[in-house]
Amino acid sequence: MRENDLLHWLTHSTRPDAAVPVPIGDDMAAVAIPPHAAAGLALLKIDQALDGVHFNLATCGPAAAGRKAVNRCLSDCAAMAAAPAAIMVSVALPAHMPLAAAQALLTACRNAAAEFNCPLVGGDTAIWQQPLVITVSALGFATQRPVQRRGAQLADAIVVSGKLGGSILGRHLTFTPRIKLASLLQTIAPVHSMMDLSDGLAADLPRLAEASGLGAIVDEAKLPVHPDAIQLAKQDGRSPAQHALCDGEDYELLFTLSPHGAAQLPTHLADVPLTIIGEMTRPPELYVRSPDGMLQPWPVGGFEHRGTAP
């Protein structure tokens, strides 16, 4: 594979877009700011996906890797109720990767973003003697002020979308960013705080609670457990609830709103189930309420990148 061949293909296979007055092919791209952007704010995100960490290229293939890399980034747009307006993709390609595989990867990146009317406007390519690295940056705009993690209020209901746990069985590659859902939520009731569940409820809810200066209680019996979590529980002896709390890479929305607002929520929105799983509390501690009503310590779990000791 020659880098120039890949760049020539990418430039000439990119369709014109009225929102991108300067597209791929120049040293920078230009994206028009839409008139509905709240307070003229642009939201920015960058994310990496690594072969051997976020996907296994040898088993999933370049298209699935590219799709996941883009959707991980777009999931963060959903987390702040922002509509993605453009993405950029930088790839460090293994030297042994054929041109057709690199084209399949970038086509999948472009198609994943196109599902949300979000053009691929640029990026960078390199070839090296190491595993595949995909870096995606996103530009987004919100019609209202973006929803942050730190806005949760005392007695807020805690809500999650979808079902949790067991994503390693395949959903970590095929999930859909909840962009449409996040937009619709804003039309029903004010959402006080929100984030996406990328590292698992056990890791992510403490981040939201800490940012808001609150604690939380989650009812184990109310956790929306995915069938994949039940399947894994039969294999490894951990409970389905432990998988739902700790597995990670669900890429669902975790959000809080007032009890009155929660009462307005439908059971499904944008074809996605919504489940009230607990409430925000005054102490900084987090607990899981077991089915017998006892408060259990918050579990240690979820995904965290770790280096090796020197």
φ/ψ of residue 170, rounded to 5: 145, -30
Supply the pLDDT for residue 304: 54
Q: Residue 287: enclosing H or E segment and its boundaries?
A: strand 286-289
Copy the structure tokens of residue 103.
Answer: 């084209």
Q: Of 228, 164, 173, give the one whose Cα is nearest residue 197.
A: 164
Give the integer Cα–Cα distance in Å for 277 and 178: 18
Q: Which domains does the chain have, with CATH numbers?
A: 3-141 (3.30.1330.10), 149-296 (3.90.650.10)
CB atoms within 10 A of CB 36: 10
Give the integer Cα–Cα distance in Å for 203 and 248: 8
Q: Of 220, 240, 14, 205, give the one whose Cα is nearest residue 106.
A: 14
Give the integer Cα–Cα distance in Å for 191 and 186: 7
Supply the pLDDT for residue 307: 52
User: Could you give the strand order of the β-sheet that contains 133-141, starting from the edge strand earlier in sequence?
Assistant: 43-50, 133-141, 83-94, 120-128
Residues contacting residue 164 through CB under 8 Å, at least 6 positions apart: 197, 201, 223, 224, 225, 226, 229, 243, 244, 245, 247, 250, 252
Predicted confidence pLDDT, tens digits, the chain (310 residues): 777 888 778 787 878 777 788 878 888 888 888 887 777 788 999 999 999 999 999 999 999 999 999 999 999 999 999 999 999 999 999 999 999 999 999 999 999 999 999 999 999 999 999 999 999 999 999 888 899 999 999 999 999 999 999 999 999 999 999 999 999 998 999 999 999 999 999 999 999 999 999 999 999 999 999 999 999 999 999 999 999 999 999 999 999 999 999 999 999 999 999 999 999 999 889 999 999 999 999 998 776 555 544 4
Supply the pLDDT for residue 306: 52
Supply the pLDDT for residue 178: 98
φ/ψ of residue 89, rounded to 5: -125, 125
Supply the pLDDT for residue 181: 98
Give the integer Cα–Cα distance in Å for 84 and 142: 9
Supply the pLDDT for residue 303: 62
Supply the pLDDT for residue 41: 84
